[in-house]
Structure 1
Amino acid sequence: MSGIAEFSYRLPMRAGGARPGSHPGASFGSGQQFAMHGRLFDHPDPRRLDLRASLRAARDEWLVRVHLQRVAVQVVVIADVSASMQFGTRRTKLHVAADFVEALGYSAFRVGDRLGMLAFDAAERDDLFMPARTGRGTGHLLATMLRDCASRAAGRGAIEGLRRCATRLAGRQALVFIVSDFHWPLEQLPSVLDMLVHACVVPMVVWDGAEISPPRHAPLLAVNDAESGEQRMVWLRERMRERWREGVAHRRGELADVFGARGIRPFYVEGGFDPEAMSRYFLEMTA
């Protein structure tokens, strides 16, 4: 397992739960962060007895120090396995996503969190579902499932598959990674994000270099829409190259607007997963 990438992550808010872990919690327990003084009768732990606070108390009663404990959280990956994720020049975007999932599995195991996975294309992929579990090899198992999965018929209904996956997590507190290239209409994405309002959502935008930069020397380019199967020839004049770059910038702006309206910042993966960049992302989120 030493060859697997690892990164650090923390939730930007306190998490509920009673299972000990590494994230700031909202429940009382055997933690290190002082929360308040309580009556010994309500919190019967003489080891945390505070004599000075008891002598200063208005009432004649023993007081103990009550602390907030650190807790484990549930981590869920919602992976896009539609036809466009099978595109890639050196490695497919789905394989890059699998690299991230493998690193996430090892990182979650190291801090004691449970990891699960949901997947979608035009519909929810029940064959790729994995309930949240703790284990050293969980990340490797999920990554293998993604690398070996076969895409189904192309279509433009990926948002419906994502909606069905989000419905499973509605109202739950968890760390949710949405791993996709987001090459589908975004009009219904806000309603999906609203179902995950109780979760910490991290959109992972996986793009290949050939998608975001036009070829430098190819005047005539054959393009194929992986989702619809449509094929066409494009004459790459300089104006077309400019429109290509403008389209990528416009898409970035659309994603920033949709996620930014809910206080979410997307994380871009272009070409390969960088665990150090992922650690910086969470460090900036929790700063």
Structure 2
Amino acid sequence: MDDIAFFYRIPGRSGGHRPGAHQASTNGAGHAFHSHARLLDLPDSRRLDVRASLRAGRGEWLVRAYRQRAAISLRLVVDVSASMQVGAPLRKLDIAARIAESAAHSAFGVGDTVGMLAFDAAHREDLYFPAMHSRGAGQQMRLAIAACNPSKTAGCALVETVRQLAGRRELVFLVSDFHWPLAVMAEAMDMLSHAWVVPLVVWDQTELAPPPVDGFVTLRDAETGAATPVWVNARLRQRWAAQLASRRRALDALFGSRNLLPLYLHGGFDAAALSRYFLELVP
């Protein structure tokens, strides 16, 4: 697997019928033994199990039934609001664009489809990509995200956007800095209860700590643009660290209550880190 791609798998079985790389709940031409079936029900003499037939003592031939491996649909839900424009040398939006390209490249490599939804104050129809199996989908998504302009209207259309995925059994990568009210995110997570959700929390280094030198600085709200002068000193740094830790605990608790594990990305995206995430999450 090349540097741009990452390994992923789902914690369970897919109900899909299209052949692929993931464990499935349907019987077919796979290698994972499931049970025995009567030859009349599964007429494939190549799977005849003579020993099992004699041991059953029912006077009928039994064949081995296997579970097939199936493809799944991978979906990106990307926050493109004003706060995602923050960051140096890479904006959080640029990191989201790299994630989209990597996810699409990874999905194509194992035969899965990939699509994208995006939101800021409204659902972004201009950034909608239907689920597809395409070699070039990743580059198209990356360019579309990197070039998009955020809405000048305050608000969050996360719930409106994920409503389109409600009830679907898909692998959903939710990419955002998650600077939204917890109640909004809780409602969105409940709508995605049938999906396998991976929250990717993208934070820039400037959000993790104030400037290291004491003095006046102007802090600007990424969503509203409002500027606030503040005096940076040791006390402010302590409060900043405490608030950051509190926000992380709140996010961890929200996701944990739904058996979800967030992955925090600080200043960049590493495909290998996402591979390790899946290896640890799904044994």
Instruction: Give the 4+ runs in structure 1 shifted more than 6 A.
Output: none
Q: Secondary structure at the match of 2:60?
A: coil
Structure 2 equivalent of residue 282 of structure 1: 278
Tell me if the contact between 2:214 and 2:233 (Cα under 8 Å) persists in the aligned partners. Answer: no
Q: Which blocks of at least 5 consecutive residues in structure 2 are unaligned?
A: none
Tell me if the contact between 1:109 and 1:134 (Cα under 8 Å) persists in the aligned partners. Answer: yes
| Amino acid in structure 2 at the alignment position of 1:240 | L
Structure 1 equivalent of residue 70 of structure 2: 71
In 2, the alpha carbon distance for the partners of 1:218 and 1:98 equals: 35
Structure 1 equivalent of residue 104 of structure 2: 105
Q: Tell me: CA distance 1:272–1:182, structure 2 relative to 1, closer, same or farther (3 Å).
A: same
Q: Which blocks of at least 5 consecutive residues in structure 1 are unaligned?
A: none
Structure 1 equivalent of residue 27 of structure 2: 28
In 2, the alpha carbon distance for the partners of 1:77 and 1:18 equals: 22
Residue 285 of structure 1, CA deviation: 0.7
Residue 112 of structure 1, CA deviation: 0.5
Structure 1 equivalent of residue 16 of structure 2: 17
Tell me if the contact between 2:159 and 2:188 (Cα under 8 Å) persists in the aligned partners. Answer: yes
In 2, the alpha carbon distance for the partners of 1:218 and 1:168 equals: 48
Aligned-residue identity in percent:
49
Structure 1 equivalent of residue 142 of structure 2: 143
Tell me if the contact between 1:93 and 1:207 (Cα under 8 Å) persists in the aligned partners. Answer: yes
Residue 94 of structure 1, CA deviation: 0.3
Tell me if the contact between 2:78 and 2:176 (Cα under 8 Å) persists in the aligned partners. Answer: yes
Structure 2 equivalent of residue 254 of structure 1: 250
| Amino acid in structure 2 at the alignment position of 1:216 | P
Q: Deviations over 1:207-250 (max 9, x none)?
A: 00011121111511111111122111010121111111111111
In 2, the alpha carbon distance for the partners of 1:47 and 1:141 equals: 45
Tell me if the contact between 1:177 and 1:204 (Cα under 8 Å) persists in the aligned partners. Answer: yes
Tell me if the contact between 1:118 and 1:130 (Cα under 8 Å) persists in the aligned partners. Answer: yes
TM-score normalised per structure 1: 0.96
Tell me if the contact between 1:82 and 1:154 (Cα under 8 Å) persists in the aligned partners. Answer: no
| Amino acid in structure 1 at the alignment position of 2:58 | R
Where do residues 113-152 of structure 1 align in structure 2 (5 Å cutoff)?
113-152=112-151
Picking from 180, 188, 213, the partner of 2:176 is 180
Structure 1 equivalent of residue 240 of structure 2: 244
In 2, the alpha carbon distance for the partners of 1:44 and 1:196 equals: 40
In 1, the alpha carbon distance for the partners of 2:215 and 2:276 equals: 39
In 1, the alpha carbon distance for the partners of 2:226 and 2:214 equals: 20
Q: Secondary structure at the match of 2:182?
A: coil
In 1, the alpha carbon distance for the partners of 2:247 and 2:153 equals: 21
TM-score normalised per structure 2: 0.97
Deviates most, 229-238 or 78-87: 229-238
| Amino acid in structure 1 at the alignment position of 2:79 | D
Q: Deviations over 1:75-96 (max 9, x none)?
A: 0000000000000121110001
Q: Deviations over 1:50-108 (max 9, x none)?
A: 11111122321111100011110000000000000000121110001111111111111
Where do residues 222-241 of structure 1 align in structure 2 (5 Å cutoff)?
222-241=218-237
In 2, the alpha carbon distance for the partners of 1:50 and 1:267 equals: 46
Residue 154 of structure 1, CA deviation: 4.1
Where do residues 30-109 of structure 1 align in structure 2 (5 Å cutoff)?
30-109=29-108
Q: Tell me: CA distance 1:154–1:218, structure 2 relative to 1, closer, same or farther (3 Å).
A: farther
Where do residues 264-283 of structure 1 align in structure 2 (5 Å cutoff)?
264-283=260-279
Residue 40 of structure 1, CA deviation: 1.1
RMSD across aligned positions (CA): 1.2
In 2, the alpha carbon distance for the partners of 1:269 and 1:228 equals: 24
Structure 2 equivalent of residue 263 of structure 1: 259
Matched pairs, number: 283
In 1, the alpha carbon distance for the partners of 2:187 and 2:196 equals: 16
